[in-house]
Amino acid sequence: MANTQLESGSNETGIRTLRDDHRKILALFQLYLAISQDSRRATVDQILELLEEHFRKEETLLTTRVPPHADRKHELVAHVLREHDEVRAMMEELRGSETDDDQALDEFFEDMMQTVHVHFLTEERDLFPHLQPPPG
């Protein structure tokens, strides 16, 4: 349903939805950092699910709203999609990890959090302004 809304709604609505996702995920990152290690797995699973859903929504918006001949936009979209692949690889590694080394998992997850945070900043600073209609 979310993808259908993004496909049929305006770019502004789609971007607002994606920004809201960013805020939710970043808030969960803060929660993850604030809770004890033995309580973190459920929060990690929730973050991974939200990230996957967010990427699907974003990819729907980008593939339905950015014409391939729009050079700068297309370049930015390609960059964002490569970052999605990078984060998805990290997510798969987290899902597949069955180690008892909580510290190693925390360090890896915190690396992924940093990667996602930079990715969100890049989208909001560089990509989203190109997707919004000019003012006026």
Q: What is the pTM of this model?
A: 0.85
Position 11 scores a pLDDT of 77
Per-run averaged pLDDT (10 residues), the chain, 136 residues: 51 91 98 90 94 95 71 82 96 83 86 97 90 64
Position 72 scores a pLDDT of 66
Start-to-end CA distance of the chain, whole Å, equals 31
Q: How far is it, in rounded angstroms, from Cα 88 to Cα 114?
A: 14
Asked if 2 contacts 53 with a C-beta cutoff of 8 angstroms, the reply is yes
The two tokens of residue 48 are 């991974």
Position 136 scores a pLDDT of 55
Summarised one tens digit per residue, pLDDT across range 78-113 is 899 999 999 999 999 998 887 667 788 889 999 999
Asked if 115 contacts 87 with a C-beta cutoff of 8 angstroms, the reply is yes
Q: What one-letter code names the amino acid at 119?
A: H
Q: Count other C-beta atoms under 10 Å from residue 40's C-beta.
A: 19
